[in-house]
Amino acid sequence: MPTADCQDSTQPTIDYNNKMFLAPMVRVGTLPFRLTVLDYGADLVWSEELVDKRVIGSVRKYNPITKTIEYWKENKLTFSTHENERGKVIFQLGTADPDLALKAALTVKQDVAGFDLNCGCPKRFSVHAGMGAALLTNPELLKKILINLVQNVGLPVTCKVRLLEDMEKTKELLKMIESTGVKAITVHCRYRDQRSSTPARWDEFKEAISVVKSIPVAVNGDVFCYKDIESIKEKTNANSVMIARGAQYNPSAFRKEGLVSTREAAEAYIKWCVRVNNVYQNTKYVLLTMSNDPKYSKTDLYRKIQQAKSNQAICEIFGMESFYNEIQELHKARQEEEAKKEEANAGDKRKLEENEESKEEKKDEEPPTKTLKVDGDEQPKAQS
């Protein structure tokens, strides 16, 4: 396996310094949500964690109706992207195998800006197979995965980790990760088994990252809106910030001018869901989590969203019927345009086949040749 010393200096670059990132969030960080937070000012957006084996073997397709690039496997959508996030979407991998990690990354490489290795997720579905936070206690495997990606994928690679309870081990981990050639590190300021109810350990983060000298380090944990960013960076010495729950509660968390109302942010999100034809179950899930108010689940709006069975029904709840109809007309027009293109292409193909058949028929109609002997040599002569 190559070492980090031979890193390709010609690979595309991303500036991870002094930036705002959307954190990877399962079921939340799908395409319409990423596009929404980009509209509100996020610099880079992480996909939800996608496991290597799910990605490998996915087939790339362009959807001319929604203008999206989609990866499908076994009739299920694995990943989708849109031109509005080109150069800004970071694909987060869940993996515990250097070779599978690389195969998965190469599958989607042409449509993402970079890759991030998930070393922070503590949930069972991730750690039971040695992925996510399980890699924190297997640094040799973590190192092998990162080096294989850094040296062979041809795009910037980053890594997201958590603090370890032993400060010296955290420092050793960060120095090791830096040595692999990654372009940035994000540190979630909690231990592996701590949840969001535990305050972020900013002081420990500040001490831990003091050993990282050559690459940006982003802070993740208890960043809820734009006005929090500068003060947290000052307290922690972080280069950049990554926002998770703050964006989930209100996608305008990245907005310099301040938060818009949850209703306005929800409508902005719904518009992207309709434009890219998001599955309504995912649209519902995100909308139902778009508030940190415990009373939200008791509201009439929450109940109506729960009962919705389509994106159209969701638009009706929010009084967005005209927008929904407008996009459906646009999609219909694109469908008709594509049908005409397919018909024209089919016609061109038929003409080409007919021309080939005509050439073959003409060959068959040509008179056979007769061989005559002239001065002992055989010479072909057309029959009359």
pLDDT tens across the length of the chain (384 residues): 333 333 445 668 899 999 999 999 999 999 999 999 999 999 999 999 999 999 999 999 999 999 999 999 999 999 999 999 999 999 999 999 999 999 999 999 999 999 999 998 878 778 878 999 999 999 999 999 999 999 999 999 999 999 999 999 999 999 999 999 999 999 999 998 888 888 999 999 999 999 999 999 999 999 999 999 999 999 999 999 999 999 999 999 999 999 999 999 999 999 999 999 999 999 999 999 999 898 999 999 999 999 999 999 999 999 999 999 999 999 999 999 999 988 888 766 777 776 777 677 666 666 665 555 545 555 454 443
Q: Where is the binding site for FMN, in residues?
A: 24-26, 92, 160, 188, 244-245
**275 Cβ partners below 8 Å, 6+ apart?**
32, 66, 327
Structure tokens at 44: 């880079």
**The two structure tokens encoding residue 380:** 């072909």
Exposure letters 247-280 (e unless 16+ CB within 10 A, then b): bbbbbbbbbeeebbebeebbbbbbbbbbbbbbeb
Tally Cβ neighbours within 10 Å of residue 98: 19
User: 259 by DSSP, 3-state: which?
Assistant: coil
Structural tokens at position 363: 């060959």
Q: Residue 306 corresponds to which amino acid?
A: Q
pLDDT recorded at residue 3: 35
Domain boundaries along the sequence of the chain: 4-260, 323-363
Distance (Å, whole) CA 172 – CA 163: 11
Please indicate whether residue 315 is annotated as part of the active site.
Answer: no
pLDDT at 365: 66
Tokens 């919705």: give the residue. 308
Residues β-bridged to residue 160: 118, 186
Residues 4-260, CATH architecture: Alpha-Beta Barrel (3.20)
- Is 374 buried (19+), middle (13-18) or exposed (0-12) by CB count in 10 A? exposed
Report which of 198, 249, 218 is spatially closest to residue 40, judged by C-alpha positions.
249
Q: d(Cα 191, Cα 178) in Å, to the nearest integer?
A: 20
Which pLDDT score is estimated for 125? Answer: 73
pLDDT at 197: 82
Work out the burial of residue 375: count CB atoms within 10 Å of its CB; fewer than 13 is exposed, 13-18 middle, 19 or more buried.
exposed
Got the DSSP string for 88-152? TEEEEEE-S-HHHHHHHHHHHGGG-SEEEEEE---SHHHHTTT-GGGGGG-HHHHHHHHHHHHHH
Distance from C-alpha of 24 to C-alpha of 50, rounded to nearest angstrom: 10
Which one of 119, 121, 189, 273 is the catalytic residue?
121
pLDDT at 124: 78
Binding site, residues? 24-26, 92, 160, 188, 244-245
pLDDT score at 107: 99
